[in-house]
Amino acid sequence: MAFVPLVGRGTGLVVIDDRTKQAAALQLWEQAWLYCQESEFSGFRFRFDRNTITDWDEFDRHARAYFPPCSGACEADSRREHLLQAADFLAGAVTSKIRFGLGEKDPNRNVAVPRETSGTFGLAEGECEIGWCLFASLRPCIWSKVLNGS
């Protein structure tokens, strides 16, 4: 699970589950509930991409078992919903990092860096290793804490 700060002091959660999207959504629900409990937040809200939840009755039964309850859950189309587009990008980046770690994808493979985006993340125009490109482009939006010490 990873926490990513979003606009308006929101928090994104990443859950890795190799079963179904519905199973991952239920696990995400539990993680969000636990995060809210530990942070003493009064509730939370979910927005899922279409076809993530295949059985809304099962989802509702699962959700009612937790208190405080979710203040709402809805379905949206990521083609038109910017927060879901950000979540899709983050999910793709996390998937790539996992594939790097498992040796299924080469983090040293070069990707093209076009002139119009080269200065945005301190990347030079031309080519860059995909692992570094992901790090450089995600670094400004993923929370981290650097401890001062030797």
Interval 69-78: pLDDT, tens: 677 888 999 8
- Is residue 150 included in any domain, yes or no? no
- Is residue 126 included in any domain, yes or no? no
What per-residue confidence (pLDDT) applies to 88? 79
Greater confidence (115 vs 55) lies with 55
What per-residue confidence (pLDDT) applies to 2? 39
In percent, how much of the chain has pLDDT > 90?
Answer: 13
**Which range (44-53, 66-75, 98-107) has the least confidence?**
66-75
- Is residue 146 included in any domain, yes or no? no
- Is residue 74 included in any domain, yes or no? yes
- Is residue 14 included in any domain, yes or no? yes
Alpha-carbon gap, residue 133 to 24, rounded angstroms: 28
- Is residue 45 included in any domain, yes or no? yes
Contacts 24+ apart (CB under 8 A), 31-36: 31/1, 32/70, 33/66, 33/70, 35/3, 35/11, 36/68
- Is residue 63 included in any domain, yes or no? yes
Q: What's the rounded mean pLDDT across residues 23-47?
A: 84
**Which range (7-16, 35-44, 141-150) has the least confidence?**
141-150
Q: Residue 53: exposed, middle, or buried by beta-carbon count in 10 A (0-12, 13-18, 19+)?
A: buried
- Is residue 57 included in any domain, yes or no? yes
Number of domains in the chain: 1
What domain range includes position 10? 3-81
Q: What's the rounded mean pLDDT across residues 53-69?
A: 86
